[in-house]
Amino acid sequence: MDLSAFPPFAVVLDGLSSSVALLASLAEPVAGDAASAVAVVLLTLVVRLVLVPVGASQVRAELGRRRLAPRVAELNRRVTDPQERSRALTELYSSAGVSPLAGCLPVLAQTPVLIAVYSVFAHPSIAGHANALLGETLAGVALGANLPTTLAAGGAPVWPYLVLLAVLAVVVEVGRRLNERFARTGTGGVADPTPAVPGMSTALRVLPFVSVAFAALAPLAAALYLVTSATWTVVERVVLRRVLGRGPSPVPGEAAAA
């Protein structure tokens, strides 16, 4: 079954397609043939601007977990039973008002948008009419094409994909290093107070790069969305950590515990 023909989904895709077309028409006097690509970037910026409160909640949770890190490390040293340790950690986070899962919120909030952008540039027709966006290009490459099909077809340049993938990989690595350094700052060097799991360190290093692999297989427009969103994330984290980190401790009762 083609989900793009399913009425509720078709309405969403049609609205998103119209939004991209409108943004492209506004950008055309400046961007020219790249107007649709610029429209995807503008759409991404609008989405991320709307999600700033979600990003702020994530940073607050990060600050809370960082301040709790020494207490979590001490708990892990004292409690050896896995079930008892799990209950104690849950109680600690709950009493401090800190969610260990808050870091997933921005990704979860963006997933429907990324799927919609992917779908808009992956279907030849939307809501019963031809998808005009598939004819739009960036540096001679169709926004609806992906790297494997472009390589297989030949003729079209592949450097736009390579540039986007390289930029995305650099941004992901910068974000990973900043997160790692942030986790260590102000915790007495305690970066990860949770018990070690075999292979976890490697997994945490590799997992962020899944987006790079996805971008290589996704339409060029979706790769453009990912690069823009990842760049926004890095900048947003740096700014919010500076701003929110100056405020009072997000961990209730921390002063008393100290």
Q: What is the pLDDT of residues 25-49, one digit of tens each?
A: 999 999 998 999 999 999 999 999 9
Q: What does the pLDDT read at residue 203?
A: 63
CA atoms within 13 A on the CB side of 231: 14
Q: Which pTM does this prediction carry?
A: 0.79
Q: Which long-range contacts (CB under 8 A, 24 or more apart) does 32-40 make?
A: 33/137, 34/137, 34/138, 34/139, 35/136, 36/133, 36/136, 36/137, 36/138, 36/143, 36/221, 37/136, 37/137, 37/138, 37/143, 37/220, 37/221, 37/224, 40/117, 40/143, 40/221, 40/224, 40/225, 40/228
What pLDDT was estimated at residue 13?
86
Average pLDDT over all residues of the chain: 81
- pLDDT tens readout for residues 115-161: 888 888 888 888 777 888 888 889 888 999 889 988 988 878 899 99
Residue 202 has pLDDT above 70, yes or no: no
Residue 255 has pLDDT above 50, yes or no: no
186, pLDDT greater than 60: no
Q: What is the pLDDT of residue 88?
A: 83
pLDDT band at residue 101, thresholds of 50, 70 and 90?
low
The closest of 236, 242, 230, 225 to 53, measured between CA atoms, is 236
134 contacts: CB under 8 Å, gap ≥ 6: 121, 124, 142, 143, 144
Q: What is the pLDDT of residue 42?
A: 94
Mean pLDDT, rounded, for 4-8: 68
Confidence of residue 256 (pLDDT cuts 50, 70, 90): very low
Residue 90: the pLDDT is: 80
Task: Give the model's pLDDT for residue 250.
Answer: 46
Greater model confidence, 210 or 184: 210
pLDDT reported for residue 253 = 45
Residue with tokens 């709307």: 50
- The residue among 98 and 251 whose pLDDT is bigger is 98
